[in-house]
Structure 1
Amino acid sequence: MKKFLVASTLVFILAVGFLGDIVSNKITAQNDIYFVKANNEEIYIAIDNKWQKLDIVGVNLDSSKPGNFPNDKEVTEEEYLNWLKIIYDMGANCVKVPDIMEPDFYNALDKFNQDKEKTIYVIQGIYFDEVDLKNGKDIQSEELEEKFKNNMELIVDSIHGSSFNLEGAVENEYYKTDISKYLLGYTLGVEFASHDLIYTELINNKENYNGKYFYTNKDASSFESYIAKMADYLAKYEYKKYKEQRLIGFIGSSNNHKKLKVSHTNEEKYINDYVNPNNIKSKYRFKPGIFASYSLYPSYTNMKEYQNNIEGYLTELKKMHKIPIIIGEYGIPSSRNSGDFNVDTTKIYINEEEQGKALVDAYRAIQNAKLAGSFIFELQDSWHRTSWNTKESKILDRAPFWSDAQDYSQNFGLIAFDPGKEKSDSYPDDNISEWQEKDVISKNDDISLSMKSDEKYLYFMLKSKNTIDLDKQDIYIDLDITPNSGSTKSSQLNLNFDNPVDFIIEIKNKENAKVLVHEYYNYFSFNENKKENQIRPDLISVSPDMDEFSPIYIEITPRMYVEALDKVVDSKKIETGKLVYGNANPLSKSYNSASDFYIGDDYVEIRVPWALLNFMDPSTKQIMDDIYKYYRAKPMIINTINIGATIKENESIKIKLDSSIFRLKSWFKPEYHQRLKRSYDIIKDMLNTRNN
């Protein structure tokens, strides 16, 4: 009897231990159904039949390069292999893609991982086409739900290497490579705009969802129940067809707002204008579990509430969740216009070194907050992107064909695409050997003016026979861009011109240089007074030939109500026409990516962004037409620019160079070369130090 009791006790202990292991999923790493799972607030992966904690260190990647929109899917397998090596060498272990990629990406990933000690994993986005929402359709409509489900099936089949014709998606291409062993999970949809969420809440009844794998709690909005339903469909489709499960992530709204009291069809109700992943739950039969995904763009306005303490913000975010949190995007642009990303609001730029340091600070804050992982936004600069404060001033369907240095949204990458096949035509720096006699457009016995252009800048080089002394001298270059307006003089600068001038480049010293615009052609002033002038056009005070030149500004934050601060924040602007002194050559130890001009002993080199001169698309030689005549930015084609130069000494004109013609060139496909930014090296050093 005693032996029986001892044996029974041992069996009981072993059974309890065995069941405990099953409950905690410690021994289910041998299960073929899933190899990654959420456990409380962490993510684990099965390696050698053991669950190991996975800290996701990732980068966002899409199929964009100069001359193409992402949907064009023109990136080759060789280019993806190169990018994956860059990611691997940096110390990352995962990429996040926004939607279905071309087969070359999945082929490259499989080929790259085959001989690597460490694997590059993927989190696959399943995109929701927001174009339909702009056309007034409801997110939850039957039509859009069907499109969303079709996209899910397309992506799941592609991941698993099902061979089929993607007619209408990626025409005449096939997906034959199974990369499911590298797929950690999916994210559903996008970060939906609050007005779209408000609309869908108004026209749909709030009902909880209870499906096979997912359900929602009593606090869930109708949209959160809809997303749970879509996740259920995704999980059922993949398990039924491939007998596999993997993590599913829900994209939460970066800014959690309050409930709104609204009236609709004579009925008042409270609705959310944000997505809270906490309201969506997975059932036990869905083994991998779920995670929450948030975007983090630490701009000055967004972080002001937390005194620019990113870690404090993330800590508060984590307190709200009992599931793993992944920062799906965090980014800082390296741009001459930093937008609202500079804590120093008097500073106009963030260079590549500053970008790298800011990304390191954000990454360390994410680590200190003990989140499950994060993805830098993004690997490569995206010429096709357009920010809110530039989109009205350019031709959108031509955006990928030139690099807009005025647009911060194009410059989040760790890889830059610089103009030129191997190097750019010119860099303002301590060497002018790239300038040749054929580049001279005008000269006299004292000075010469040379010009070049490429897909990003107009370049100027003013060379003097004598030493340039900016303690005594001021340099002016005048540009006649549009035939519709301009002034032949500037009383404020005491200058006269050969042609009606639209822009003046003024260099007084290293700290005081800028581009000025003729007030009639000042697009910022036009927009600032647009509403008032529409109401009272008789109060418009500008004229095509007026004698007034103004600094060039750009709005970096619109006037808006910030709910977290419970007050209206006034709009902010910066003087984008200011020119930054420094060495712009990436090979120089003193390289500053934001540099606009450099001063040598007897020369000045300058580069000016096309958009700063009101070009809407330099690739087709299109500038803004008469903005007051059409009362908007309307394109027109020009073929030449008239350029002159003046050097003043002690406020008197010493040298004047007659205006000459610079002939513009167009291009169909841009020339460019790939370059790793200084920010990449900074991130790489940090990650490799951490990993070692």
Structure 2
Amino acid sequence: MKKLFKSRLFKFGLATVIVGGAAVYWLMPPMAKVESAEIGNGFKIKFKTNGTQIEQFQNQIWKPYFAKGVNMGATVPGHFPGELEISKDDYMRWFKMIQEMGANVIRVYTILKPEFYESLVRYNAKHQDNPLFFIQGIWSPEEQLIAGQNAFDPQVKQKFEKEVQDAVEAVYGNIDLDAEEHSGKASGNYVFNAGPYLMGWIVGTEWDPVMVDKTNKSNVGTADYKGDHFQSKPGANPFEKWLAEMVDITATTEANHGWQHPIAFSNWVTTDPLEHPGEPLVAEDMVSVDPTHIAAVDWEAGYFASYHVYPYYPDFFTFDKSFQTMKNVKGEVDSYKTYLHKLKEYHSDMPVMITEFGVPASQGVAHTGMLGRNQGGHDDKTQGEMDADMFREIHQEGYSGAILFTWQDEWFKKTWNTMYYDIPDRRAYWYNTLTNESHFGVLGMYPSKDDVIHIDGDASDWDKLDDKDKTKLDLHIDGFNGIWATHDEGYLYLSIKLSEPLDLSKNSIYFGFDTLKGGNRHAPQLQGKTLDEGLETLLEIGNQDKGQMMIASNYDFHTRLYGKLSKILPYDPKELQDDSGIFNPWKLVVNYLLEKPDSRVNHPFGDIGVGDMLRGSSDPQDPNYNSKAMWQAKGNELEIRIPWALLGFSDPSSLSVISYEDTGTKQFESEKVEGVRIVPWIVRKDSKEVVGLEGDNPYPVSQLPLYTWKRWEDVDVKYVERPKQSYSLMQEAMHEADQPVSK
């Protein structure tokens, strides 16, 4: 008996040792193992610059390296960046997908929470033959810089220096960042040394030109900066001297860890060193921040230039003839290719990386560009085609890297032309198709019913929904045998059974939406019928390919903001009267009216329609899938999804819509509503007969059932993560670029 007891005790003890060993394994950070060269004073080096190239030490020799990468944000739907809610599982899954796409580097903008560095080290420990590298960005104090207009302000400098030092120590797993001191930023205990997997540093953010100009004017006579590892060159302006010091502080801090990596500062077209004679806005060509005015000394890893370059901004990409001198491989005049060529040519003795480029897949548009490369308005496939074309052009021009913006969609983002139409502190809780900035990702973050309800004219997938998750609207309207409604973070969905198959050669079908007191009670689309309550928005489906969302003229945010308030758009005051009878197309501004002295030339106001409702399939398994498909009909079944913003919602999660109230400012007031009333009817194209609004005149809209839902918060947000069509198109382009093109 004692022998048996001892045997069991031994087995138990052995199990304890084994389990304990596993715990030690998972608690102890794995050692990063990368092949590196050793230079003077014992420094390790994996990447370095050589002339106009970046090189990687591999198989005991230095080889040219082209950074094929993606930028990565700091959050997921339902959260803002300061919450840093990405999990270790997310990172491990994403790293695999990123490498499978063909990328070899991730660029992050700021210190992320410890889980990022831990996950990268653990991932690479399993992929030692082919590790995934990263570029660490160091966030500059943007708000203080813009507010103070002087980079040499001691408080600004001190804050930036601290950020530089914290970033280096976080990368090397050597700091504990206190949560209270870093409110809204990453914090925690950094113990995983990710330094060996670093490809390089990018210091700072896009520089505000007015701030740079005022810094230069306020610090005339500032001495050249001469540091231990970096210095400014003769002719550098004061801001460039300030930057040289920030770059040098980065190098000096990293040197304490026995490593050297290539360093750049962030830059963009607005502050590039080129002349843009056809750029209308003075501020966009006001001042240069020139990378060639800074040099590395005693830093063998070297120094490179980093630029964010998009094809639609600034406006000279579209209007400047001096940047329309080259043709792409398709034989098209291409201002983006011309710009890339000129920028690379200017930096004749150093590597240059394009560290942001891309177009978003969104309903909204914020700028227009040559060759249709607009900031928005694209489906997922078109996004991928344009991104891949730009990637290839960057590679062909001999750049050292092309880092796509961005990896994942980011719901919290704002855009200059929609930011007055939503509630800032709730942006992360819903999928706003009009805010293009939210949709640059090649990893789509779609609203929660994306994989349940497919807009394809077959309503059988609605059977998958719980009864509590869909509502049959008790309308009893001629022409309609039943209307069901549901919703998610992105859309209001409708499933309609018609009394007869939809024949758009003979009929137009309309859906009016009532959320507030006011709006149009009569309109040409009603063919003489009158409603007892007005409509704020209206969907018209009258042709085979697309429908159109419209907005009552007195509710129309575009007319109210740029007509009545800003006095830019001509408008008839009668349009702003209640029940004007006019429904306007849904529009967004794409460029402001620019006049001297702010502009070199008078530049007209521009806007674009964003209310098109495309017919198609939203089923990603369908060969004809279109991410922008909003309706489809088959026989007598009609399915529709309507973006919340096109219904006037400033935040569907709190049932808030834009108010009719005139605030006299650009910021519109929001008003809580109980839900939305849906008013359907059909118009015979030949006779103009209205089907569906029979009976009382005025027709009692106020008696129709209300579709409503419960308020949702961050914890309620669900989403579907799925690679977009752009992922596979970028995958094809990245796998083509195994070697850099020599220039």
Q: What displacement does 1:56 show?
A: 0.8
Q: Does the CA contact (< 8 Å) of 1:499 and 1:642 recur in 2?
A: no
Distance across 2 between alignment mates of 1:452 and 1:531: 36
Q: What displacement does 1:211 show?
A: 2.0
Whether 1:668 and 2:707 are equivalent positions in the alignment is: no
Q: Does the CA contact (< 8 Å) of 2:394 and 2:402 recur in 1?
A: yes
Aligned pair partner of 1:233 in 249, 252, 259: 249
Q: Does the CA contact (< 8 Å) of 1:30 and 1:49 recur in 2?
A: no
Q: Does the CA contact (< 8 Å) of 2:37 and 2:46 recur in 1?
A: no
Distance across 2 between alignment mates of 1:369 and 1:96: 21
Distance across 2 between alignment mates of 1:258 and 1:93: 30
Distance across 1 between alignment mates of 2:568 and 2:48: 58
Aligned pair partner of 1:646 in 681, 702, 716: 681
Whether 1:105 and 2:150 are equivalent positions in the alignment is: no
Aligned pair partner of 1:136 in 148, 160, 170: 148
Aligned pair partner of 2:534 in 500, 506, 511: 500
SS in 2 for 1:681: helix
Q: Does the CA contact (< 8 Å) of 1:556 and 1:574 recur in 2?
A: yes
Aligned partner of 2:267 in structure 1 is: 252
Distance across 2 between alignment mates of 1:592 and 1:29: 56
Aligned pair partner of 1:316 in 337, 342, 349: 342
- Structure 1 gaps of 5+ residues are 1-24, 261-270
SS in 1 for 2:176: coil
Aligned partner of 1:489 in structure 2 is: 522
Amino acid at match of 1:645: P
Aligned partner of 1:53 in structure 2 is: 64
Aligned partner of 1:331 in structure 2 is: 358
Distance across 1 between alignment mates of 2:123 and 2:524: 64
CA distance change for structure 1 residues 65 and 313 in 2, over 3 Å: closer, same or farther? same
Per-residue CA shift, 1:444-491, capped at 9, x if unaligned?
A: 3641222111101111222213111111111011111112x2122214
Amino acid at match of 1:656: L
Q: What displacement does 1:86 show?
A: 0.8
CA distance change for structure 1 residues 60 and 345 in 2, over 3 Å: closer, same or farther? closer
Q: Does the CA contact (< 8 Å) of 1:425 and 1:452 recur in 2?
A: no
Q: Does the CA contact (< 8 Å) of 2:568 and 2:605 recur in 1?
A: no
Distance across 2 between alignment mates of 1:660 and 1:573: 36
SS in 2 for 1:596: strand
Q: What displacement does 1:356 show?
A: 0.8
SS in 2 for 1:375: strand
CA distance change for structure 1 residues 430 and 545 in 2, over 3 Å: closer, same or farther? closer
Distance across 2 between alignment mates of 1:250 and 1:171: 21
Q: What displacement does 1:134 show?
A: 4.3
Q: What displacement does 1:531 show?
A: 4.0
Q: What displacement does 1:575 show?
A: 1.3
Aligned partner of 1:410 in structure 2 is: 438
Whether 1:195 and 2:210 are equivalent positions in the alignment is: yes
Per-residue CA shift, 1:33-76, capped at 9, x if unaligned?
A: 32211111001122233212111111101211101112211111
Distance across 1 between alignment mates of 2:569 and 2:415: 28
Per-residue CA shift, 1:164-220, capped at 9, x if unaligned?
A: 243422676200000110112111101111122122122222432222222222221
Distance across 2 between alignment mates of 1:488 and 1:112: 61
1:163-178, aligned counterparts within 5 Å?
163-167=175-179, 168-169=181-182, 173-178=188-193
CA distance change for structure 1 residues 608 and 344 in 2, over 3 Å: closer, same or farther? farther
Higher mean C-alpha deviation, range 208-217 or range 520-529: 208-217
Aligned partner of 1:291 in structure 2 is: 304
Aligned pair partner of 2:628 in 583, 588, 594: 594
Distance across 1 between alignment mates of 2:433 and 2:361: 10
Distance across 1 between alignment mates of 2:286 and 2:729: 40
Aligned partner of 1:75 in structure 2 is: 86
Q: Does the CA contact (< 8 Å) of 1:213 and 1:286 recur in 2?
A: yes
Per-residue CA shift, 1:499-528, capped at 9, x if unaligned?
A: 221111111112452112111100000111
Distance across 2 between alignment mates of 1:434 and 1:535: 45
Q: Normalising to structure 1: TM-score of the pair?
A: 0.89
Q: What displacement does 1:140 show?
A: 2.1
Amino acid at match of 2:121: D
CA distance change for structure 1 residues 537 and 376 in 2, over 3 Å: closer, same or farther? closer
Q: Does the CA contact (< 8 Å) of 2:555 and 2:660 recur in 1?
A: yes
Amino acid at match of 1:449: I
Q: What displacement does 1:628 show?
A: 2.3
CA distance change for structure 1 residues 27 and 662 in 2, over 3 Å: closer, same or farther? closer
Whether 1:441 and 2:454 are equivalent positions in the alignment is: no
- Structure 2 gaps of 5+ residues are 1-35, 277-284, 325-333, 695-700
Per-residue CA shift, 1:648-683, capped at 9, x if unaligned?
A: 113211333863311133211211120100000111
SS in 1 for 2:462: coil
Higher mean C-alpha deviation, range 595-604 or range 288-297: 595-604
Q: What displacement does 1:557 show?
A: 2.3
Aligned partner of 1:273 in structure 2 is: 287
Q: What displacement does 1:690 show?
A: 4.6
Aligned partner of 2:6 in structure 1 is: none
Q: Does the CA contact (< 8 Å) of 2:312 and 2:373 recur in 1?
A: no
Q: What displacement does 1:536 show?
A: 13
Q: Does the CA contact (< 8 Å) of 2:358 and 2:405 recur in 1?
A: yes
Amino acid at match of 2:340: L
Distance across 2 between alignment mates of 1:544 and 1:43: 64
SS in 1 for 2:73: coil
Q: Does the CA contact (< 8 Å) of 2:311 and 2:373 recur in 1?
A: no
Aligned pair partner of 2:500 in 466, 477, 502: 466
Amino acid at match of 1:127: W
Distance across 2 between alignment mates of 1:105 and 1:131: 26
Whether 1:161 and 2:176 are equivalent positions in the alignment is: no
Distance across 1 between alignment mates of 2:60 and 2:521: 79
CA distance change for structure 1 residues 568 and 640 in 2, over 3 Å: closer, same or farther? same
Distance across 1 between alignment mates of 2:273 and 2:350: 21
Aligned partner of 2:427 in structure 1 is: 399
Whether 1:145 and 2:157 are equivalent positions in the alignment is: yes
Aligned pair partner of 1:680 in 719, 723, 727: 727
Distance across 2 between alignment mates of 1:89 and 1:536: 52
Distance across 2 between alignment mates of 1:29 and 1:609: 60
SS in 2 for 1:164: strand
Q: Does the CA contact (< 8 Å) of 1:641 and 1:664 recur in 2?
A: no
Per-residue CA shift, 1:379-420, capped at 9, x if unaligned?
A: 000101111101111111111111100111111000111122
Q: What displacement does 1:428 show?
A: 1.7
SS in 1 for 2:57: strand
Distance across 2 between alignment mates of 1:613 and 1:362: 35
Q: Size of the alignment, in residue pairs?
A: 654
Aligned partner of 2:102 in structure 1 is: 91
Per-residue CA shift, 1:302-326, capped at 9, x if unaligned?
A: 5323333422221111111111000
CA distance change for structure 1 residues 498 and 544 in 2, over 3 Å: closer, same or farther? closer
Distance across 1 between alignment mates of 2:654 and 2:455: 25
CA distance change for structure 1 residues 206 and 526 in 2, over 3 Å: closer, same or farther? farther
CA distance change for structure 1 residues 562 and 325 in 2, over 3 Å: closer, same or farther? farther
Distance across 2 between alignment mates of 1:346 and 1:38: 32
Q: What displacement does 1:123 show?
A: 0.7
Distance across 2 between alignment mates of 1:144 and 1:389: 30
- Whichever structure has more strand as a proportion of its residues is 1
Q: What displacement does 1:342 show?
A: 5.3
